[in-house]
Structure 1
Amino acid sequence: MPQLNPNPWFFMMLTTWVIFSLILQPKLLPLTSTNRPSNKTQTPNKTIPWPWPWT
C-alpha cells in the first residue's frame, strides 16, 4: 500500500517543520499587537432613557 511508505512525504513534512521552526516562527513572534491593553479602569457608560412618545 502506498500510504504506508513514508519515503515520498516524510522528507517534505520534516523540511516544512524545520523551515517553520527555524525561520518563520522567530520572525513572527516579535511582532507586537497594535492594540495594547491599557491599565485604566473602564467606567461604565451612562445611558439616557429614550423618550417614547406614546408613554
Structure 2
Amino acid sequence: MPQLNPSSWFFIMLSSWLAFSLIIQPKISSFTSTNPPSSNTPTTPNTTPWTWPWT
C-alpha cells in the first residue's frame, strides 16, 4: 500500500508546515488591523416611534 509509505509524502508535508510556520505566519501576523477593537461601550441611538397616519 503506497499511501502508508511515508517517504513519498512526509518530506512535502514537513516542508510545507515549516514554510507556513517560519515564513508565512510571521508575515501575516505583522499586519495591523484596519479596524482595531475599541474599549468604548456602544451607545444606543435615541429613537422616537413612527406615527402611522391611520392609527
Question: What range is the shorter-chain TM-score in?
Answer: 0.7 to 0.9
Identity, in percent, stands at 62
Unaligned runs of 5+ in 2: none
Question: TM-score, normalization: structure 1?
Answer: 0.83
- How many corresponding residue pairs? 55
- The root-mean-square deviation of aligned C-alpha atoms, in Å, is 1.2
1:31 aligns to 2:31 (yes or no): yes
Name the TM-score, length of structure 2 as normaliser. 0.83
Corresponding residue number in structure 2 for 1:54: 54
Structure 1 residue ranges, 4+ long, deviating more than 3 angstroms after superposition = none
Q: Which runs of 5+ in 1 are unaligned?
A: none
